[in-house]
Amino acid sequence: MKARLEEQYEKSIVPTMTKEFAYKNSLAVPRLQKAVVNIGLKEAKDSDQVITASFADLAAITGQKPVVTKAKKSIAGFKLRAGQPVGVKVTLRGQRMYDFVDKLFQIVLPRVRDFRGLPEEGFDGRGNYTLGLTEQIVFPEIDYNKIDKVRSLEVTLVTTAKTDKEGVRLLELMGMPIRRKDGGK
C-alpha cells in the first residue's frame, strides 16, 4: 500500500509541475529522494548514556534503526579525537520517507511554538531543504516524562530538483508550509 503523500505526488503534483515548468516527460518532474534526520551530540564524548538516549529517541521518531556518526578528524580546540561518537542519524527512503515527511508537515510542524512557516532560506541552491527543530518532544512518539534532556535535531529533505525554484514548488505542493520572502508570490 502506498503512502498518502506518494499517491498525492503521482496524482496531483506530477501533472501540476509538468504544466508549470513545461516538462516534456513525467519522469523529469523532481521528486523527493531521501530524508536524513540527524542529532548532533557535543556531550557524547563524555557519556555513553547520551548516545543511547538519542539513539532510542531517533528510532522512535523515524521507525528505523539509527547509526552512530563518528568524528573524522581530531580537533584539539573541541577536545575531540578521530573516531569518537558525535551524533546519530537515520536516512529514510521509500515508504518510510513519505510517512515521515507527511507526519512532519501535518503533525509535527504545527506543534512547534510560534510557528509561522519554514523560511525559504533553508534551500541549498540545488532544491534540497534543511530545517532544524529545537526540541525532539514535538514528535508525538516521544514521551516527555521519559526523556533525559531536550535535544535539537536536523532534517534534510533531498530532492532531484535542479534549482531552488523547482524544489520550493515540489515541497510546497507536498504540504510544506513555506514562509516566502516576497510575501507568497
Give the CATH number, domain containing residue 15. 3.30.1440.10
Does the residue 162 lie in any domain?
A: yes
Does the residue 183 lie in any domain?
A: no
**Cell numbers representing residue 12 in the block:** 496531483
- 43-59: average pLDDT: 78
The position carrying cell 516521544 is 142
Does the residue 156 lie in any domain?
A: yes
Helix or strand run (H / E) with residue 154: strand 153-159
89, 95 contact by CB (below 8 A):
no
Is-above-0.75 flag for pTM?
yes
What is the model's pLDDT at position 4? 85
Does the residue 90 lie in any domain?
A: yes
Q: Out of 21-30, 125-134, 174-183, which region has the weakest mean confidence (pLDDT)?
A: 174-183
The position carrying cell 523527493 is 32
The position carrying cell 510575501 is 183
Q: Is the pLDDT of residue 183 over 60?
A: no
Does the residue 155 lie in any domain?
A: yes
What is the model's pLDDT at position 160? 92
Does the residue 23 lie in any domain?
A: yes
Q: Is the pLDDT of residue 156 over 90?
A: yes
Does the residue 182 lie in any domain?
A: no
Count of structural domains within the chain: 1
- DSSP letter (8 states) at residue 153: E
Does the residue 181 lie in any domain?
A: no
The percentage of residues in the chain with a pLDDT greater than 90, rounded to a whole number, is 24
DSSP annotation string for 18-79? HHHHT-SSGGGS--EEEEEEEEE-GGGGT-HHHHHHHHHHHHHHHSS--EEEE-SS-BGGGT
pLDDT digits (tens, 9 = 90+) for 135-149: 877 888 877 777 777
Q: Domain range for residue 83?
A: 4-176
The set of residues, in sequence order, having a beta carbon less than 8 Å from that of 167 and lying 6+ positions away, is 30, 123, 126, 127, 128, 129, 159, 161
